[in-house]
Amino acid sequence: MFVNRARFSTSILTQQIRRLKSTLVLAEHNNEVLNPITANTVTAAKKCGAGDITVLVAGTKCGPASEAAAKLEGVSKVLVAENAAFNGFTAEALTALLVATQNQYKFTHILSGATAFGKAVLPRLAAKLDVSPISDIIDVESEDTFVRTIYAGNAILKLKAKDPVKIITVRGTNFEAAKEGGSAAIEKAPEGDFKTDLTEFISQELTKSERPSLTAAKVIISGGRGLKSGDNFKLLYDLADKFGAAVGASRAAVDAGYVPNDLQIGQTGKIVAPDLYIAVGISGAIQHLAGMKDSKVIVAINKDPEAPIFQVSDYGLVADLFKAVPELTTKV
């Protein structure tokens, strides 16, 4: 009896030690550069209580991203899977690799940024492992307790995950980026036949922009239906140049065809939290606020004094944007 109990507690202890040492971060990159959200995800991984963090870099060309990942503080190992099968980073091929990696290393936490990429891949992996994934966390309370928003950010859910493996996507704006200064070992990821004929990547049409990316920008100028046309967005680009800012949009502006969809900020677009967010001609629907209300300072320019955006703005200006924005551009 006593022996049994001792064995039992030893096994718990080994489990705990193993649990402390096994987090995998799925890196996001474009075969050229590492997506900055990977650094934020590493910070979230540290908060999960993981001493050892492994980053998996998969793609058709992994050199630059794996070197960048190895430099992140807190990363102890980088696994590289360079293979033509990962062309287009399809979830089908990556899931096969992730399952093979998990079978070999038995991670307790698997994380990725909550981007279009992470959102597509991690739930597929979770189903293969029979785990309920946890989307878009904003905080980590302990190794099994996480915080996320529900109802377009109008409620905050704290949940305890019961599954043995935690599969998590991370809201980048809620975690500092891990700093450089590490020097992790770079190793080969498990090999296998990861080629899939289920989905084939055909092409990409990326929006070209010289501006900072929306999710990384310190200042964002955002336009809504009040801009009235795509051409009028030039007013916002002029103002954005003064601040070195990114330009975003509400769903109304995207649906009206003023700007492409990847500029959409909100519940179903991008979630941003810049130092300064200037909302121009945006009423402030719940779904839009969900994407920007964690910004440090919010400025609203709208001619309707009753617009809900004024309830969250630090500085509101009730004015015609076609007069106020050019004036602001000349004065800043």
Partner 1 sequence: MSRILVGVKRVIDYAVKIRVKPDKTGVVTDGVKHSMNPFDEIAVEEAVKMKEKKLASEVIALTIGPAQSVETLRTALAMGADRGIHVEISGKEWELLQPLHVSKIFAKVAEKEKVDFVIVGKQAIDDDSNQTAQMTAALLDWPQATFASKIEKKGDKIEVTREIDGGLETVSCKIPAVISADLRLNTPRYATLPNIMKAKKKPVEKLAAKDLGVDTAARIDVVSVEDPPVRQAGSVVPDVDTLVAKLKDSGFVK
Residue stretches of the annotated binding site: 225, 250-251, 264-268, 281-288, 302
CB of residue 254 vs partner 1: minimum separation in angstroms? 8
By CB under 8 A, is residue 32 in contact with partner 1? no
By CB under 8 A, is residue 252 in contact with partner 1? no
Q: Considering beta carbons, is residue 74 or 108 the nearer one to partner 1? A: 108
Q: Which of 55, 87, 80, 116 is nearest to 195 (CA)?
A: 87
**Cα gap 202→193, rounded to integer Å:** 21
Q: Which of 290, 291, 226 is nearest to 256 (CA)?
A: 226
Q: Which stretch binds partner 1 (CB under 8 A): 49-57, 175-183, 186-194, 251-259?
A: 251-259
Instruction: Count Cα atoms within 13 angstroms, Cβ side, for 324.
Output: 17
Q: What is the footprint of partner 1 within residues 157-176 (CB under 8 A)?
A: 157-163
CB of residue 281 vs partner 1: minimum separation in angstroms? 15
CB of residue 134 vs partner 1: minimum separation in angstroms? 8
By CB under 8 A, is residue 225 in contact with partner 1? no
By CB under 8 A, is residue 36 in contact with partner 1? no
Q: Considering beta carbons, is residue 103 or 183 the nearer one to partner 1? A: 103
Q: What is the footprint of partner 1 within residues 112-141 (CB under 8 A)?
A: 115-117, 119-128, 130-136
By CB under 8 A, is residue 267 in contact with partner 1? yes
Reading the block at residue 306, the tokens are: 């009753």
Q: Which stretch binds partner 1 (CB under 8 A): 5-13, 52-60, 66-74, 111-119?
A: 111-119
**Cα gap 113→116, rounded to integer Å:** 9
CB of residue 135 vs partner 1: minimum separation in angstroms? 5
Written as one string, the DSSP assignment of 265-281 is BSTTSB----SEEEEES
By CB under 8 A, is residue 216 in contact with partner 1? no
The 10 Å CB-count burial string (b at 16+, else e) for 57-74 is bbbeebebbbebbbbbbb
CB of residue 308 vs partner 1: minimum separation in angstroms? 10
By CB under 8 A, is residue 250 in contact with partner 1? no
CB of residue 194 vs partner 1: minimum separation in angstroms? 14
CB of residue 52 vs partner 1: minimum separation in angstroms? 26
> How far apart, in Å, are the Cα atoms of 105 and each of 14, 21, 110, 193?
15, 10, 11, 18
Q: What is the footprint of partner 1 within residues 269-298 (CB under 8 A)?
A: 270, 275-276, 286-287, 293, 297-298
Size of the chain in residues:
332
**Residue at 166: amino acid letter:** K
Strand partners, 125: none
* 3-state class (DSSP) for residue 10: helix
Count other Cβ atoms within 10 Å, centred on residue 208. 5
Q: Considering beta carbons, is residue 8 or 315 the nearer one to partner 1? A: 315
**Cα gap 13→15, rounded to integer Å:** 5
> How far apart, in Å, are the Cα atoms of 38 and each of 119, 283, 329?
14, 33, 34
Write the interaction track for partner 1 spanning residues 71-100; mark x where CB under 8 A is met and - where it is not.
Answer: -----------------x-xxx--x-----
Q: Which stretch binds partner 1 (CB under 8 A): 57-65, 69-77, 174-182, 307-315?
A: 307-315
By CB under 8 A, is residue 320 in contact with partner 1? no
